[in-house]
Amino acid sequence: MELRHLGRTGLRVSRIGLGTLTWGRDTDERDAADQLKAFWEAGGTLVDTADVYADGGAEYLLGRLVEDLVPRRDLVIATKAGSVPDPDRRFDGSRGHLLAALDASLERLGTDHVDLWQVHAFDPDTPLEETLQALDIAVASGRARYVGVSNFCGWQLAKAATWQAVSPRAQTRLASTQMEYSLLQRGIEREVLPAAADLGLGVLPSSPLGRGVLTGKYRRATPADSRGASPHLAPFVAPYLDEEAGRIVEAVATAADGLATTALGVALAWVRDRPGVTAPIVGARTARQLEAALSVEALTLPDEISKALDDVSAPVHRYPDHDWSTL
């Protein structure tokens, strides 16, 4: 699999990442092992997880499989911290919480460092410089090699990177930002993608298949074994089952028929090759689903197909993105 640099760093990662959101919950140890082995054998390196996935179960499962199945040196392990199971406070970006969470993640993963440590989301109740100081400490102590953020909007991302650039106390720089990005969700094109490009950050799209909807599996009904039928994931899928999403899914299916490939392949290739993207993170429930995603390595969309998909899925971006005098 082709490798790409993560932003302006020297770290290279596979241009498709393996997500572990369902590990330890909908994906058991056997299926997780099959996925990891298939991913590694295909040349994949970037494995993304988080301390809240399955309440730590995803990290624990990944830790059990590393070394016994895949050499640790062959993987770029990325995890996240900051999300908390508190209805009154969804995110905790305090230095104390983040560093304690990192130590717990390392213990579950069975490693002394992660290659990429990410703040899971912006915490409005903690000064941003305190959050960023935790990233400095993680790198300085050797517990993280690189750091990034997740789910930061444009101004939050720019503020974080600017503080690191100008503060005499800052010791490290952001390497990446992880955001949802697909043909069904192009909101990051408004500010996050331009900010990331200007700041030299790698972009790691999550849910690149529109939470599974772009595979076409929901065109007729909701499969019983799908996320849309899962009690805890159905609300996650539901927003992408409306009429507008259906129109985009049909366009993807038409493109797939014309190229003699799959809707999954078209949707994943589109986001993988968008400007600024380093590696979309693909989550699969089974090894067969993952192998279908990995087969996209050989697919490059013709320019006319990409343009047609751009047009049919284009978000409404007016003022201030476009010159006000032309509106």
Give the CA distances from residue 39 to residues 116, 189, 294, in Å, rounded to whole numbers and listed in that order.
18, 29, 8
Residue of 53, 146, 181, 240 with catalytic role: 53
DSSP state of 118: E
- When computed from its CA atoms, the radius of gyration of the chain, rounded to whole angstroms, is 19
* Of the candidates 75, 140, 135, the residue with the CA atom closest to the CA atom of residue 110: 75
Is 319 a catalytic site residue? no
Alpha helices in the chain (DSSP H): 29-41, 57-65, 95-109, 128-140, 154-166, 192-199, 234-237, 243-259, 263-272, 287-294, 303-313
Q: Do 47 and 17 touch, CB atoms closer than 8 A?
A: yes
Both tokens of 45, joined, read 């390196």
**Using CA atoms, how far apart are residues 123 and 133, in angstroms rounded to an integer?**
14
Catalytic residue annotation = 53
